[in-house]
Structure 1
Amino acid sequence: MSSITFEGSNCFRQRLVLSVLTGKTLIINKIRHKDIESGINESEMNLLKLIEKVTNGSNIYVDESGTQLRFKPGILFGGQIDHDCGLHRSIAYYIEVLLMLSPFCKRPIEATLSGITNDQIDPSVDAIKHSSLSVIKRFLGAADDNELEIKIVSRGLRPSGGGIVIFKCPIRRVLRPLQLLESGKVKRIRGVAFATRVSPQMANRMVDIAKGILLKYIPDIYIYTDHLKGKNSGKSPGFGLSLVAETTNGVFYTGEAVSNPSGSGKELSVPEDIAKEAAHSLLNDIYRGGAVDTLNQGLTTLFMAFGQRDLSKVQFGPLSPYTIQLLRHIKEFLELTFKLESSQSNTDCNADIENQYKTGSKKIIATCVGIGFTNLSKTVS
């Protein structure tokens, strides 16, 4: 089995996912070797434990200092999984990895994840539920709601968590090629304003301000208030707002904000400020545009690469740094290069891709022919 070597802690999840899918042994050296807290951190170790549960036969070696990792991937198995995601990163940090691996497992995944559902570091579970599932459906084809689902049983905020999320995803023999070049026009905006262990009035105040901003652009707006009580409210007080805009072509853009954690030393958050931040975040994502929102650029890129030996073509907004690095990793693991063009001209923009991100205006058309990856555990498509 071939191996591939990296240095440093950047893009840890990308490297693990590509190692599992390609079967190549992953070696990472000098992981934070110059930092005060050197080596693999708790969230990364927790992620390795989750991948160990999803796969069968993975071999993980971390040296005593934690600065060197050797990961020999096993076979993707799936099935029922219970995992405590800890309190260092959100549940979304782990669900994003499961989304990339789930279609290729031997058995459909049904994972119960506990931890933090909404924080200021990672995307919320709400954003993934409303936007990522619509993207993965395009590659999977027909999928029932009980097969592909993210269910928030209870919410958990920093610092103590207490959230529980159930994630289900079916398996497929091959992924469909995707042709998606038009985003369409925004036709409706939906959202959820949640409040846990605080006054229900917090959620109502966020709804009023967010509607005041968004009604200037579109009339079809509905924001649901979710005031949780008892065990469903997690272990920490807080509130937040998650918004999603749907276009006429079934593209979803997201924007969200959450209050500062209690006991963090930061000033107390005001519901009106949270609502403004979430609304402006949504408008910014709409402005960036593309037939896939910024959150799902990486997921789309990966599935395009591992799809059938057929042409896939998708329009993105300005590429995020995460997507740019994923394209480089795909080239290293698969020797597959995407063709990137500006949708406003036919000039190739590979050499100037970081500038495309900084300008925030140009759209990118990404084209590739998939490697024809096949899930041999699934006998019928």
Structure 2
Amino acid sequence: MPDARDATPYDALLLLSFGGPEGPDDVIPFLENVTRGRGIPKERLKEVGEHYFLFGGVSPINDQNRALLDALRKDFADHGLDLPVYWGNRNWAPYLTDTLRDMVADGRRRVLVLATSAYASYSGCRQYRENLAESLAALEAEGLEPPRVDKLRHYFNHPGFLEPMIEGVLASLADLPEDVRDGAHLAFSTHSIPNASADTSGPVEEHGEGGAYVGQHLEVSRLIAEAVRERTGVDHPWQLVYQSRSGAPHIPWLEPDICDHLEERHEAAVPAVVIAPIGFVSDHMEVLYDLDTEAKAKAEELGLPMRRSATVGADPRFAAGIRDLVLERAAVERGQEVTPCALGALGADHNLCPVGCCPARAPKPAAAGVDSPYA
């Protein structure tokens, strides 16, 4: 980078996340926020809420974000980058609109956004951009001048995101009994989404079977598996699998489900499986319940040795990677020549989401894209 301390024109970074309940009384209101407008009966929300009640009604995601905030602030301070970091959520406190209001009061005029989703999809990118547009419109309605917001590019293939996951898989393999370790299969897990959403993920030219969503996850899986082979000398078979399906049974969603995959691996006499939750930045409820509870129970029922590797969370290498992405984008905005850092065949993703990228079910304004009303 031309100047490792220069984030201009940006005067703040916003960590934008999903949010989660922090006690039993928060669970149903939180789920109502998540599902607002979808007509899901309260009885169904109570069923889903049982997952949270198993953990005291607390999702780990907010504590994970607090740890990431600390890691980012420390990394920035250690490297002389004077850029304040704020935090806002889509579905629970601290709410995005409240945080943006605070940023305006603090005089922030040009904001860079880090979303806790590394891949292209409606729910992982476009919906965050819609929420940003809604919050900016709310500030305008209050008579405030909203800041300009830009969003960091997708970071699925940045080494700061990949390296902690590679080491997590290596640690999980090392934790398996020696007699099954070399024969272990790798299951790279991510959130299942409707096939129709996957097929239209990413820019229009990438639409098709699985779209950018599946393509990016396959690339991350390949990169991790190749790194594991290079560092261990063992070529572990791998497959991309899915979890956390929540839609109507008649609507096709991405498959195979992780528990079905474990049964298939057991029937194929695979000696062990390592599950790597590559689709998730941190250990939130879907990781704890779908993998550490349901998938673990399925593996124990089958007598199949299984380990689950760590998510990236607040790893210092991830924080350093975010600093790199901030400085990269700032340099681009200043008109400087930049060589983006990205591993693998797909290269660095776009900085501005083009028209038709991860389209919504119904058209809504979205910030931080080519068609943003807040450019």
Q: TM-score range by the shorter chain?
A: under 0.3
Q: What is the TM-score with the length of structure 2 in the denominator?
A: 0.26
Structure with more strand by fraction: 1
Structure with more helix by fraction: 2
Q: What is the TM-score with the length of structure 1 in the denominator?
A: 0.26
Higher relative contact order (CA 8 A, sep 6+): 2
